[in-house]
Chain A
Amino acid sequence: MAAGPYNYSYIFKYIIIGDMGVGKSCLLHQFTEKKFMADCPHTIGVEFGTRIIEVAGQKIKLQIWDTAGQERFRAVTRSYYRGAAGALMVYDITRRTTYNHLSSWLTDARNLTNPNTVIFLIGNKSDLDAQRDVTYDEAKQFAEENGLMFLECSAKTGENVEDAFLDTAKKIYKNIQDGSLDLNAAESGVQHKPSNGPRGANLGGESSGNKDPCSC
């Protein structure tokens, strides 16, 4: 753990959404722990994970909210969409229905986040190519039509998982740099933590950042 008040200069808030069983929690686990969780219980409500990454020499803490996939849980998870800088929208390449539901997830994401939220489409389970039910090309086309970033990943092998999370962060960072994302706007999903000050601008969980583990 770094010595300064913060060992990162930004917090980006992400949400992961998509149908049940597409592998949202496994993607998160693969990204934060770098391993595949085979016996992962299903998510009830909302879960949460963090990891510090580096983009253009800046340390950024990703604060990732993993949501339950069943339709009715949206009543509970919707409030976590607010103030997300990045949204990872996941489907399962071996189950077409999960792909067909994307438009409904997208509508939710667009309505409940801000216009600058970076939405990244992930086709998970790319290791199961033999059981593929959705082609790469059609998903790619869907992504382009809707202005989404897109990758096929595997939470099992780890393929492209890192890239999906990092590319989203790069895009958000770029939006900050070119001024299209206003850090002072409410619900930007980004918190700036100047390394010399104790508290950054606005929002997104007042997490005072010190990653000291609880002494309990």
Chain B
Amino acid sequence: METSFANSSKWMTAFTNAIRIVSLSPVFSEQLDEKKNEEERKPLLRRKSSIDDCVLLRKCSTDSELISSYRDRRVIKSNSGSLNDLTEESKPLLLSNSEGIIVYLGDGHCPQCEEIQQDFRHIETAHQDAAEAKRLKLDYDEITPCLKEVTKEWTAMLSFPKDKPIARNILLKAVRDGVPRKLRGDIWQLLVSQNKLQGRSSITDNEIESSWAMNTPYYDLLKELTTHQHSILIDLGRTFPAHPYFSKNLGTGQLALFNILKAYSLLDKEVGYCQGLSFVAGVLLMHMDEEDAFDTFRYLMFNMGFRRQYRPDMMALQSQMYQLSRLLHDMHPDLHEHLEKHQIAPALYAAPWFLTLFASQFPLGFVARVFDLILHEGRDVVLKVAIILLGSHRELIKQCNSLETIVEFLKTTLPEMGIIQMERVFNQTFEMDIARQLHGYEIEFHVLQEELLSRPSKEGDEDNTIDSVERLHQTQAIIKSLKTQNLELLEQLQNANGRIRSLEDELQLVYDSQTKMKNHVRQLELERAALIKLTSEGGRTDLNVSTTITDSPIHNPVSSRIIYESSNLNLNKETNLEKHVQEIVRKKSDVEHPINEIDSSNLPAV
């Protein structure tokens, strides 16, 4: 007996210690018996020899379950079996029955000991398996390693009541400082609930009955059948195929993944299942249990709007690729040209970045960090990371001189960059704001798309006379050029508006400093007058001078000449300033002039 207990694990010790506390605490025992009859409600310590003194525990497979059973008072009394006296010093002995495990403090013989020990070994193994599974799931290198203080901050925030809003800047700072791997799942859920609290979860897809989508219980969805079952099954074994949690054919990981994807396909009939989704759900599953992962997945899709890129027409995906291409053109024109030259469009390398949120190619530490940022900030993060990745590897990409080598670099070499470099990418992401550009480019994409759609299909009606075909072509050419012009004008308008704003700011500054200067000049003039008066009165004493101009900032009569000159100088400055203001006003009207023209020239004739 004793040897086997001595061999038992740390967990076992924790378990029995917990029970010792439970069973020896009269207060607890009383609480326990609140609803039981009077006879049973006697403190444990006073009735050491009775079988009633043992406590029956629900079978607990983990420490946390044990502790929560203890807290929830699911510890109940048992009244079967035979026991020796209980003393505080007794070695623990265990009994089991159909309901669970009886734990008491005593050292008598127990016929079921073998069985119980076996039971415990099972529990232990299950516990170890769970711990091992968690370790396996989170086996990746962290990008921004978390300092102890940061972890403490997170722990504190996690312990706040769920409905307590945390200031955005505090959250932002914490996300910037790093997210500890072990708390990451909880932190993601915290970020989601904070977004919801702060009304940052605007559901943008009207056509979906979002309330239904958000409120259908997960387990209800699992009961139904999906038409996408087959596709989901095909991809199960091909999602993180090398990751230990997902590698086992129809193992725990794959089954959980299947459940989430199935439930989602039932929830979102339009998207159903799309390749790429399994990676996103997989990343969530590595950090939290199935149901929480599903909730977070649903939040990403509906509230954050990621579902749009998976729709059957894939328009949103194409729009993002267009945005990336435009950003590249703006920010790294040389790289853009290089890629264009080798006919490398974002479809060739960025589709997996967007659709799996980098999860299919990049190391998990990187991916987890992308998720941190997305859950705090939203969808723009994906494009920011994409453009920063390209920009920071600009020179290396330009050294690749063929389609093959560039694609190979983007697909294989790029994701293998060092941790420090990755951290730099995220630091830049925090600094970047491209919301305005992204919005502009999205509109641009849709305008271009409409133009494409309005074109007739290649196989034109052969009955048409060549004449009318030609006319059609001409009209189309005109429409096309008009649309291009419109786009350019729109862009000009945007630029001009930006320019006006900055000019107005500048103008305001100048006005402010002008007023200041004027005041100063007035003061100096007063001073000057006083000084002139002083010099003309010549014979007066120094004492008098100082009384006349005590208010003046400069009251040394000797320097009156200097003051005179400097006031002249200031006058000059003032005239210069006025000139400058006039200049700006003129510039502003120059800029506004074409805008008025644009406004009046019937904008997009779409």
- A interface vs B, CB < 8 Å? 20-21, 38-48, 50, 63, 68, 70-73, 75-76, 79, 205-216
Contacts and interface: CB of A to CB of B under 8 A. Distances in A.
B7 to A, nearest CB: 39
24 contacts: A20-B275, A21-B235, A39-B237, A39-B238, A40-B241, A41-B239, A44-B351, A48-B348, A48-B403, A63-B403, A68-B275, A70-B275, A71-B312, A72-B274, A72-B311, A72-B314, A205-B342, A206-B403, A208-B401, A213-B405, A214-B396, A214-B399, A214-B409, A215-B399
A21 B234 contact: yes
A48 B404 CA distance: 8
Given A45-B348, A45-B352, 8 more contacts: A20-B231, A39-B242, A44-B356, A46-B348, A75-B315, A209-B402, A214-B413, A216-B399
3 A-B pairs closest in CB distance: A45-B351, A39-B241, A214-B400
Q: Chain B CB within 10 Å — which of A39, A42, A70, A206 has the most?
A: A42
Interface in B403-440: 403-409, 411, 413
Interface string B334-348: 000000011101011
B399 A75 contact: no
Contacts of A21: 234-235, 238
Contacts of B283: none
A94 to B, nearest CB: 12
Nearest to A37: B241
B247 interface: yes
A48 B342 contact: no
A216 B409 contact: yes
Contact of A212 (B237, B240, B405, B407): B405
Contact of A76 (B238, B311, B317): B317
Prevailing SS type, chain A contact patch: loop
A41 B341 contact: no
Interface in B247-281: 247, 274-276
A76 B404 contact: no
B322 to A, nearest CB: 12
Given A20-B235, A42-B235, A73-B314, A207 B274 contact: no
A38 B237 CA distance: 10
Contacts of B325: none
Contact of B355 (A45, A207, A214): A45
Name the residue among B240, B312, B401 with the largest chain A CB count within 10 angstroms: B401
A39 B241 CA distance: 5
A108 to B, nearest CB: 14
A182 B239 CA distance: 43
A206 B404 CA distance: 11
Contact of A211 (B239, B351, B360, B404): B404
Given A72-B313, A73-B275, A75-B314, A216 B400 contact: yes
Given A42-B235, A44-B276, A76 B413 contact: no
Interface string B378-408: 0000000000000000001001111111111
B318 interface: yes
Contact of A41 (B274, B360, B400): B360
Contacts of B404: 48, 50, 63, 207, 211
